[in-house]
Amino acid sequence: MSERIATVSRDTQETRISVTINLDGSGKLSCETGVPFLDHMLDQVARHGLVDLDIKADGDRHIDDHHTVEDLGITLGQAFARAIGDKRGIRRYGHAYVPLDESLSRVVIDFSGRAGLFMDVEFTRAAVGSLDTQLFWEFFQGFVNHAMVTLHIDNLKGFNAHHQAETIFKAFGRALRMALEPDPRMAGQMPSTKGSL
């Protein structure tokens, strides 16, 4: 399998974002988004997904965090899609359950080539730190639409919103890791009966 590295930039009137990703990294993160809790969550994705991420984001945060969070999801999705290539030899599917104290979340992903987000999460607070919890859906919707994946996210229990979010992002990282791992038995083969994804 060749190097799975990509750099993607997004420059709009609302945001300027750059993402470099190495799917076969060691979990290193360099991140400057201006949204501290989002940086904390992206650290979970890198660490638990064993992907290296270098992220720089400058957005119109004087309005709010919406455009920065959404556009980061878009750019990250584009970077994953570019780095993964034609998907030959990967496991394709990934899933993880992650607990944190009273909270438990399940994430299931399919690098199907079809965008679909199914998120069943009732956050117990409207914000974690300064970050509006509604923006987690925007982040994942942006990712799904541009990585072209099917993603199911369920927070099964929890009353601490920080724990709810953290279990989701840790499980997301672990599901990504499982799905993107090379499968020795699928070497060179497309993981689909269609012959393409």
Q: What is the 3-state secondary structure (H, E, C) of the chain?
A: CCCCEEEEEEECCCEEEEEEEECCCCCCEEEECCCHHHHHHHHHHHHHHCCEEEEEEEECCCCCCHHHHHHHHHHHHHHHHHHHCCCCCECCEEEEEEEECCEEEEEEEECCCCCEEEEECCCCCCEECCEECHHHHHHHHHHHHHHCCEEEEEEEECCCHHHHHHHHHHHHHHHHHHHHCECHHHCCCCCCCCCCC
The pLDDT value given to residue 137? 98
Regions of the chain short of the pLDDT cut 50: none
The pLDDT value given to residue 2? 82
The pLDDT value given to residue 38? 97
The pLDDT value given to residue 112? 96
The pLDDT value given to residue 1? 60
